[in-house]
Amino acid sequence: MKALVLEAPEQLRCKEIPIPAPKGDELLIRVRACGVCGTDLHMYHGDKGAFANAFPLVMGHEFSGEVAALGPDASKFQVGDHVAVDPNLYCGKCPACLRGDVHFCEHMTGIGTTRDGGFAEYCVVSERAAYRIPDEVPFEYAAMMEPLSCCLHGIDRSGIHPGDTVAIIGFGAIGQMMFQLAQLSGAARVVVVEPVAPKRKKAEEMGAFLTCDPQREDVSEKLQALHFHSVIECVGRKDTMELAVQIAGSCATVMLFGLTAPGTKLELLAYESIFQKELTITGSFINPLVSQRVVDLLSSGRLDLGKIIAVRLPLAEGVRAFTEKGLSADGKIVIGDFPAAH
Domains of the chain: 2-147+287-335 (3.90.180.10), 158-283 (3.40.50.720)
- Contact 190/209 with Cβ under 8 angstroms? yes
CA pair distance 13, 87, nearest whole angstrom: 22
Q: Is 39 a catalytic residue?
A: yes
Among residues 39, 113, 240, 253, the one annotated as catalytic is 39
Most distant CA pair in the chain: distance in Å? 63
- Strand-pair category, 165-169 with 253-256: unpaired
Select from 167, 141, 153 the least CA-distant residue to 103.
Answer: 153
Render each residue's pLDDT in the chain as its tens digit; 342 residues: 999 999 999 999 999 999 999 999 999 999 999 999 988 988 999 876 556 678 999 999 999 999 999 999 999 999 999 999 999 999 999 999 999 999 999 999 999 999 999 999 999 999 999 999 999 999 999 999 999 999 999 999 999 999 999 999 999 999 999 999 999 999 999 999 999 999 999 999 999 999 999 999 999 999 999 999 999 999 999 999 999 999 999 999 999 999 888 889 999 999 999 999 999 999 999 999 999 999 999 999 999 998 899 899 999 999 999 999 888 777 899 999 866 554
* SS3 state at 194: coil
